[in-house]
Chain A
Amino acid sequence: MPREPKQAEAALQKLGQRVRAGWAKKHPISERSLATVRTTVREVWEQQEKERRTKLFTPKIPPPPKKKGKDKDKGRGQEPEI
């Protein structure tokens, strides 16, 4: 007689947990991967430092003042003509 659906699912999930745990035991992080991690962390950090310094030492130039249209807002805030 077949087992209940939940039992089949639970058995497969248990097998998955065991297989992943066994894999982690059999294949701990390799020296090659550790070297990749160290090199990439340094590269990312250097790039961020470069960007930070560029930002820090770039003189801030104020944006040019906005030109108002010739007829824009005409009459607003002005004294009414008598």
Chain B
Amino acid sequence: MDDLIQLVRAYQKTAELDERTQIAESIFRVVEPKMSFFVFNSVRPSAADDVLQIVLIGILKSLQKFSGGTDGEFLKWCHGVARHKIHDQYHAQKNERFQPLPPEEITELVDLSATVTPLATGERLDLAYAMKLLAESKPECVEYLLKHFITGLDYGEIAEELKVNYDAARMKIGRCLETVRELVA
């Protein structure tokens, strides 16, 4: 854990271009798939790759200023940069932004992950249960639950993204989860 932050520190200290490029490539081999997941679930697919490039440039241009101390803080900071870039691109087209991941794609991604780390006993049942929770959720809850559990954003990040306060985001997710949990026996 915290390998990423070591690379970020090394990048910030290195003055030599070739070395810096190598370190940046190592950082972005980890960060880029996370950012692409975030971007492709936030904007329409036809624009997503261009927005992703803008996000990567934004992260790199500010990388020297990043001062956090853990991988988690760094990824949270990257999500913040991505969120602002997406906002800049789409501030006038809010309704076009949210693109929920279709259930069949979720299943495909789970199966792909199992080729790297096989599913533990009983895990498939838990995953099927989680899929059912998402499928049965109220439409207004789906965005909150996907962003929190699937994209992996915390309450603060969701609050910032959806322009609500921290407690409102936390309570909404709690209520959505409680409602659908009682629905799915």
Within A21-43, the residues touching B (CB, 8 Å) are 21-30, 32-34, 36-38, 40-42
Asked whether any CB of chain A lies closer than 8 Å to the CB of B178, the reply is: yes
Q: How far is the CA of A15 from the CA of B112 in the complex (A)?
A: 12
Are B129 and A11 in contact, with the CB atoms below 8 A? yes
Size range of the chain B interface in the assembly: 35 or more
Q: How far is the CA of A57 from the CA of B184 in the complex (A)?
A: 71
Contact code string B92-114 (vs A, CB < 8 Å = 1, else 0): 00000000010000101111111
CB contacts (< 8 Å) of A10 on chain B: these are 126
Are B106 and A29 in contact, with the CB atoms below 8 A? no
Are B106 and A19 in contact, with the CB atoms below 8 A? yes
Asked whether any CB of chain A lies closer than 8 Å to the CB of B72, the reply is: no
Asked whether any CB of chain A lies closer than 8 Å to the CB of B60, the reply is: yes
Are A3 and B129 in contact, with the CB atoms below 8 A? yes
Are A32 and B108 in contact, with the CB atoms below 8 A? no
Give the dominant DSSP class at B's interface.
helix
Are B28 and A33 in contact, with the CB atoms below 8 A? yes
Are B123 and A14 in contact, with the CB atoms below 8 A? yes
Stretch at the interface among B82-90, B143-151, B158-166: B143-151
Most A C-beta atoms less than 10 A away, residue of B25, B49, B113? B113
Q: How far is the CA of A45 from the CA of B60 in the complex (A)?
A: 11
Size range of the chain A interface in the assembly: 35 or more
Asked whether any CB of chain A lies closer than 8 Å to the CB of B170, the reply is: no
Asked whether any CB of chain A lies closer than 8 Å to the CB of B1, the reply is: no
Asked whether any CB of chain A lies closer than 8 Å to the CB of B8, the reply is: no
Are B109 and A5 in contact, with the CB atoms below 8 A? no
Are B28 and A29 in contact, with the CB atoms below 8 A? yes
B interface with A by C-beta (< 8 Å): 17, 20-21, 24-25, 28-29, 32-34, 36-37, 49, 52-53, 56-57, 60-61, 63-64, 101, 106, 108-117, 123, 126-127, 129-131, 133-134, 145, 149-152, 177-178, 180-185
A-B contact pairs, 15 of them (CB 8 A): A10-B126, A11-B129, A12-B134, A13-B149, A15-B106, A15-B110, A15-B134, A16-B150, A19-B101, A20-B150, A21-B109, A24-B34, A25-B116, A26-B112, A29-B28
6 tightest A-B CB contacts, nearest first: A22-B109, A15-B130, A12-B149, A22-B112, A21-B113, A22-B113
